[in-house]
A and B are shown apart, each in its own frame.
Chain A
Amino acid sequence: MRKLNFFLFLRGIVAAIFIVSGTEKLLSPYENFLYVIQNYQILPYPWMEKMVALGFPWIEVTLGLFLLLGLWIRGTLLGLAGATASFIFIVSQAIIRNLPINSCGCFGDLVKVPLPVILTMDSLILVSIFLMSYNRTRILLLSLDRYFDQKS
């Protein structure tokens, strides 16, 4: 039972991180997140930067919500792993290239987090996602996926 609660707790924490991160960006002007993306100097075209600034927070909120509700868990975990791996790559390249970025901008205006700290956090999140992926039966407790599986 303790192991089950631990995985549910992990699911809740990771979901909350993505929901809060996405919501904070959506409630601020998108120009703030656009500026963050521009500072990382990773996308080659301005229209790509704008697309990510407008679209990515919605993806964060959606994946976070699906994880919280336990909906399409397999696909959600894959999506979250992809997003987190991308963050790790983007932040790492900024550190290696010594870009003048003081705070990652990951949580919008809520929290200012230096790059090395966010790299550590993202790595822990990725590990959590892998743990949940390998223990899917345990995280399916109190989930919509299980509800629908039982009904069908």
Chain B
Amino acid sequence: MTTPESNLPSLEKHQIIFHGQAKDYFRIWITNLLLTIATLGIYSAWAKVRSRKYLYGNFELAGSRFDYHADPKKILLGRVLIGVLFAGYSLGGKIDPMVSVAFATAFALITPWLMVRALMFNLGNTSYRNIRFGFKKDYNGSYKAFFQSLVWTIFTFGAGFPKGAHIQANFRMNRIRFGAKYFQFEAKTKEFYNPYFMAFGIYVFGVIVMIVSMVALKGTPLGSLKILLPVIALYVCLVWAGATLKAELINLKTSHTNLGEIKFYSDLKPRPLTILYIQNILVCALTLGLAIPWAIIRSIKYRAKCTQLAMPSGELEKITTLSEQDAQNATADAAADFWDLDLGF
């Protein structure tokens, strides 16, 4: 991977290194699963913290590791809340479809708020060299971005979805900070169209392949393979489309993000990522899920391999933590303690 020439003093390049091993992560994962089942799900919050501490603790940048600090009790509270909402939505929907509509509407209305809380929680509990990351509390901005992207998507019958994605990425990336320093994200809307067009094209190709193969196999003595093979072909194309979208979006967002003089680069390639995902799915299916830790480690290793930073010497060390007053302003909220929850899995 090449990084652009610079007129600044020569930039130091730092490769993100991931030290995690599948054999080690498997043991943590299986212990987590056993204790989660034995405690009817209560331990799952502690399991999440252990998993993240392992994964973050194995990311190395410039000789130092990352860490995750979340309080498992707050994660458990968040899960109970989301679980109740989800149960209401899915079971209530079986009784009366309008209940699902009501829940979905309520959920859509609180999504921008939830997103800010979740980002504040997870970033605020992530550190590097004992300096915490953070997310600027901006509910108004979140609602504005959410509704703008919704309008762009609905009134263009989906054609404006990439524009909506750009608005959301812009909102999020420019409010993430490391210590007292905010990340800057600058990308043009038109750059967001390419990944979505590529993914959509692959999806359409997959549908065509499925239809053509169903027609071609009709009348052949292949039994259930007449349906299975075309469906598998479509599924592979869906994985390919998903991998392409993911690779292109990550490259786009990473390469247009900087932290002061620190620049980020990502070089994920759709083809190896697609092969990686298909191998992961096949092996996980054949091992009835026991290979999930192996799949996670491989995926993370590949992404780390494709990520680099470039910065003038000593740039990272200049970053300081938030002042005490700024820290208080960043998180003070009447409901902050109660809603300081992790609201996802």
Q: Do these two chains really belong together in a complex?
A: no
